[in-house]
Amino acid sequence: MKLKLLFSTLAFIGMVLLVSIFYLKSKTPSSFNAKAIAKKTTKVQEKSKPSSSSDSKILIAYFSRIGQQYAVGNIKEGNTAVIAKMIQQKVGGDLFEIKVAKDNYPTDSYTKLTEVGKSEQEKKARPKLASKVENFDSYTTIFIGYPTWWGDKPMAVYTFIESYNFKGKTIVPFSTHEGTGFCGTRGMESLGAKLLKGIGIYGHVAQNERAEAKKLVLAWLKEIGF
Protein backbone atom coordinates (compact mmCIF):
# COMPACT_ATOMS: atom_id res chain seq x y z
CA MET A 1 0.00 0.00 0.00
CA LYS A 2 2.86 2.36 0.98
CA LEU A 3 4.73 1.41 -2.21
CA LYS A 4 1.62 2.21 -4.34
CA LEU A 5 1.35 5.66 -2.69
CA LEU A 6 5.03 6.35 -3.36
CA PHE A 7 4.67 5.42 -7.06
CA SER A 8 1.58 7.60 -7.56
CA THR A 9 3.32 10.54 -5.82
CA LEU A 10 6.40 10.14 -8.05
CA ALA A 11 4.20 9.84 -11.17
CA PHE A 12 2.33 12.99 -10.17
CA ILE A 13 5.57 14.95 -9.61
CA GLY A 14 6.90 13.74 -12.97
CA MET A 15 3.75 14.90 -14.76
CA VAL A 16 3.91 18.29 -13.08
CA LEU A 17 7.57 18.65 -14.10
CA LEU A 18 6.87 17.71 -17.74
CA VAL A 19 3.93 20.10 -18.04
CA SER A 20 6.02 22.94 -16.51
CA ILE A 21 8.88 22.36 -18.96
CA PHE A 22 6.54 22.48 -21.99
CA TYR A 23 4.75 25.55 -20.60
CA LEU A 24 7.98 27.47 -20.00
CA LYS A 25 9.35 26.56 -23.45
CA SER A 26 6.25 27.85 -25.20
CA LYS A 27 6.30 31.10 -23.20
CA THR A 28 10.01 31.92 -23.71
CA PRO A 29 10.05 35.03 -25.92
CA SER A 30 12.22 34.73 -29.00
CA SER A 31 14.04 37.88 -27.96
CA PHE A 32 15.49 35.87 -25.08
CA ASN A 33 16.88 33.45 -27.53
CA ALA A 34 20.54 34.28 -28.12
CA LYS A 35 20.57 32.62 -31.56
CA ALA A 36 17.53 34.63 -32.68
CA ILE A 37 19.17 37.86 -31.51
CA ALA A 38 22.34 37.06 -33.42
CA LYS A 39 20.35 36.35 -36.61
CA LYS A 40 18.33 39.56 -36.34
CA THR A 41 21.40 41.70 -35.76
CA THR A 42 23.18 40.22 -38.75
CA LYS A 43 20.20 41.00 -40.96
CA VAL A 44 19.97 44.62 -39.81
CA GLN A 45 23.71 45.07 -40.25
CA GLU A 46 23.50 43.78 -43.80
CA LYS A 47 20.69 46.18 -44.61
CA SER A 48 22.23 49.27 -43.10
CA LYS A 49 25.75 48.62 -44.33
CA PRO A 50 27.02 51.93 -45.70
CA SER A 51 27.87 51.80 -49.37
CA SER A 52 31.61 51.79 -49.70
CA SER A 53 33.41 53.18 -52.75
CA SER A 54 33.79 49.65 -54.11
CA ASP A 55 29.99 49.40 -54.20
CA SER A 56 29.60 52.43 -56.44
CA LYS A 57 30.84 52.24 -59.98
CA ILE A 58 31.13 55.53 -61.83
CA LEU A 59 30.71 56.30 -65.50
CA ILE A 60 31.53 59.73 -66.95
CA ALA A 61 29.78 60.05 -70.30
CA TYR A 62 30.21 63.24 -72.30
CA PHE A 63 29.58 64.81 -75.68
CA SER A 64 32.14 67.35 -76.86
CA ARG A 65 33.40 68.85 -80.11
CA ILE A 66 36.85 69.68 -81.42
CA GLY A 67 37.68 72.18 -84.20
CA GLN A 68 36.53 75.78 -84.41
CA GLN A 69 34.60 76.75 -81.31
CA TYR A 70 33.37 80.00 -79.84
CA ALA A 71 35.95 82.09 -77.90
CA VAL A 72 38.67 79.43 -78.08
CA GLY A 73 39.48 79.03 -81.78
CA ASN A 74 40.56 75.70 -83.21
CA ILE A 75 40.68 73.27 -80.29
CA LYS A 76 42.07 69.74 -80.23
CA GLU A 77 40.23 68.69 -77.12
CA GLY A 78 36.61 69.79 -76.54
CA ASN A 79 35.77 72.03 -73.58
CA THR A 80 33.37 69.51 -72.04
CA ALA A 81 35.96 66.77 -72.52
CA VAL A 82 38.41 68.81 -70.44
CA ILE A 83 35.88 69.00 -67.58
CA ALA A 84 35.01 65.30 -67.89
CA LYS A 85 38.66 64.40 -67.38
CA MET A 86 38.96 66.70 -64.37
CA ILE A 87 35.98 64.95 -62.82
CA GLN A 88 37.55 61.56 -63.49
CA GLN A 89 40.80 62.68 -61.84
CA LYS A 90 38.88 63.38 -58.66
CA VAL A 91 36.23 60.65 -58.51
CA GLY A 92 37.73 57.88 -60.67
CA GLY A 93 35.43 55.84 -62.89
CA ASP A 94 35.31 55.20 -66.62
CA LEU A 95 35.15 57.80 -69.37
CA PHE A 96 32.82 57.34 -72.32
CA GLU A 97 32.62 59.78 -75.23
CA ILE A 98 29.16 60.04 -76.76
CA LYS A 99 29.93 60.06 -80.50
CA VAL A 100 27.53 60.02 -83.40
CA ALA A 101 27.83 57.18 -85.91
CA LYS A 102 27.88 59.56 -88.90
CA ASP A 103 29.91 62.58 -87.89
CA ASN A 104 28.90 65.46 -90.17
CA TYR A 105 29.61 68.22 -87.66
CA PRO A 106 31.79 70.92 -89.26
CA THR A 107 35.13 71.52 -87.59
CA ASP A 108 36.29 74.38 -89.82
CA SER A 109 33.63 76.92 -88.91
CA TYR A 110 31.88 77.64 -85.64
CA THR A 111 28.98 79.29 -87.46
CA LYS A 112 28.43 76.21 -89.65
CA LEU A 113 28.52 74.01 -86.54
CA THR A 114 25.87 76.14 -84.86
CA GLU A 115 23.68 75.77 -87.95
CA VAL A 116 23.92 71.99 -87.92
CA GLY A 117 23.13 71.98 -84.19
CA LYS A 118 20.12 74.22 -84.75
CA SER A 119 18.78 72.08 -87.56
CA GLU A 120 19.08 68.88 -85.45
CA GLN A 121 17.24 70.59 -82.63
CA GLU A 122 14.42 71.79 -84.88
CA LYS A 123 13.97 68.28 -86.26
CA LYS A 124 14.09 66.80 -82.74
CA ALA A 125 16.68 64.47 -84.26
CA ARG A 126 18.00 61.40 -82.49
CA PRO A 127 21.34 60.83 -84.23
CA LYS A 128 22.53 57.21 -84.08
CA LEU A 129 25.49 56.74 -81.78
CA ALA A 130 28.80 55.14 -82.76
CA SER A 131 29.04 52.82 -79.75
CA LYS A 132 27.32 51.56 -76.63
CA VAL A 133 28.51 51.54 -73.03
CA GLU A 134 29.57 48.02 -72.11
CA ASN A 135 27.98 46.66 -68.92
CA PHE A 136 25.93 49.80 -68.40
CA ASP A 137 23.93 48.02 -65.68
CA SER A 138 27.01 47.70 -63.50
CA TYR A 139 27.31 51.49 -63.09
CA THR A 140 25.57 53.13 -60.15
CA THR A 141 26.52 56.77 -60.80
CA ILE A 142 26.57 58.32 -64.23
CA PHE A 143 27.99 61.76 -64.84
CA ILE A 144 26.62 63.17 -68.11
CA GLY A 145 28.40 66.11 -69.71
CA TYR A 146 27.42 68.23 -72.71
CA PRO A 147 27.95 71.65 -74.25
CA THR A 148 25.02 74.06 -74.23
CA TRP A 149 23.64 74.08 -77.75
CA TRP A 150 20.94 76.63 -78.39
CA GLY A 151 19.96 76.72 -74.74
CA ASP A 152 19.65 72.94 -74.56
CA LYS A 153 21.88 69.93 -75.04
CA PRO A 154 22.99 68.36 -78.36
CA MET A 155 20.41 65.91 -79.67
CA ALA A 156 22.94 63.04 -79.51
CA VAL A 157 22.79 63.35 -75.73
CA TYR A 158 19.05 62.67 -75.93
CA THR A 159 19.82 59.55 -77.95
CA PHE A 160 22.23 58.55 -75.20
CA ILE A 161 19.85 59.01 -72.28
CA GLU A 162 17.03 57.26 -74.12
CA SER A 163 19.23 54.23 -74.89
CA TYR A 164 19.67 52.93 -71.34
CA ASN A 165 17.74 52.09 -68.22
CA PHE A 166 18.65 54.65 -65.55
CA LYS A 167 16.17 53.43 -62.94
CA GLY A 168 17.69 53.54 -59.46
CA LYS A 169 20.92 55.13 -60.66
CA THR A 170 22.34 58.53 -59.78
CA ILE A 171 22.83 61.05 -62.58
CA VAL A 172 25.24 63.95 -62.20
CA PRO A 173 24.91 66.47 -65.04
CA PHE A 174 27.47 69.05 -66.11
CA SER A 175 27.77 71.36 -69.10
CA THR A 176 29.97 73.98 -70.67
CA HIS A 177 28.62 77.12 -72.31
CA GLU A 178 29.56 80.61 -73.40
CA GLY A 179 27.08 82.76 -71.56
CA THR A 180 23.73 81.10 -70.99
CA GLY A 181 25.00 78.87 -68.20
CA PHE A 182 24.11 75.30 -67.26
CA CYS A 183 21.56 74.21 -69.81
CA GLY A 184 19.53 72.01 -67.53
CA THR A 185 18.43 68.41 -67.38
CA ARG A 186 15.50 68.24 -69.78
CA GLY A 187 14.73 64.58 -70.52
CA MET A 188 16.53 63.32 -67.41
CA GLU A 189 13.83 63.98 -64.83
CA SER A 190 11.63 61.09 -65.90
CA LEU A 191 14.27 58.37 -66.01
CA GLY A 192 13.66 57.09 -62.48
CA ALA A 193 17.14 58.18 -61.43
CA LYS A 194 18.28 60.40 -58.59
CA LEU A 195 19.37 63.65 -60.17
CA LEU A 196 22.14 65.58 -58.43
CA LYS A 197 22.80 69.30 -58.80
CA GLY A 198 24.60 70.07 -62.04
CA ILE A 199 27.20 72.67 -62.92
CA GLY A 200 27.75 74.96 -65.90
CA ILE A 201 31.28 76.15 -66.68
CA TYR A 202 32.40 78.61 -69.35
CA GLY A 203 33.97 76.71 -72.24
CA HIS A 204 36.87 79.16 -72.55
CA VAL A 205 37.59 78.78 -68.82
CA ALA A 206 37.66 74.99 -69.20
CA GLN A 207 39.97 75.34 -72.20
CA ASN A 208 42.28 78.19 -71.22
CA GLU A 209 42.01 78.73 -67.47
CA ARG A 210 42.36 75.18 -66.24
CA ALA A 211 43.37 75.99 -62.66
CA GLU A 212 40.24 78.12 -62.27
CA ALA A 213 38.07 75.44 -63.93
CA LYS A 214 39.51 72.81 -61.62
CA LYS A 215 38.71 74.94 -58.58
CA LEU A 216 35.09 75.23 -59.69
CA VAL A 217 34.82 71.52 -60.44
CA LEU A 218 36.30 70.45 -57.11
CA ALA A 219 34.08 72.85 -55.12
CA TRP A 220 30.98 71.55 -56.91
CA LEU A 221 31.98 67.90 -56.42
CA LYS A 222 32.52 68.55 -52.73
CA GLU A 223 29.14 70.25 -52.45
CA ILE A 224 27.33 67.26 -53.95
CA GLY A 225 29.22 64.74 -51.86
CA PHE A 226 32.25 63.53 -53.86
Ligand X SMILES: Cc1cc2nc3c(=O)[nH]c(=O)nc-3n(C[C@H](O)[C@H](O)[C@H](O)COP(=O)(O)O)c2cc1C
- Does the footprint of ligand X cover residue 64 (CB under 6 A)? yes
Out of 133, 177, 198, 216, the only residue in the binding site for ligand X (CB under 6 A) is 177
Q: Which residues pair with 68 in a beta bridge?
A: 74
C-alpha span between 103 and 97 (Å, rounded):
13
Least CB distance to ligand X at residue 104 (A) = 13
Asked if residue 226 binds ligand X (CB under 6 A), the reply is no
- Which one of residues 59, 60, 61, 80 is an interface residue with ligand X (CB under 6 A)? 80
Which lies closer to ligand X via its Cβ, residue 169 or residue 174? 174
Q: Does 65 bind ligand X (CB under 6 A)?
A: yes
Q: Alpha-carbon distance 144 to 87, whole Å?
A: 11
* Ramachandran category for residue 117: left, alpha or beta (phi over 0 → left; psi -120 to 50 → alpha): alpha
State how far the alpha carbon of 206 is from the alpha carbons of 111, 214, 219, in Å: 21, 8, 15
- Site membership for ligand X, residue 79 (CB under 6 A): yes
The beta strand positions in 79-129, using DSSP E, are: 94-97
180 belongs to the binding site for ligand X (CB under 6 A): yes
Binding of ligand X at residue 182 (CB under 6 A)? no
Q: Which residues bind ligand X (CB under 6 A)?
A: 64-65, 69-70, 78-81, 113-114, 117, 147-151, 176-180, 203
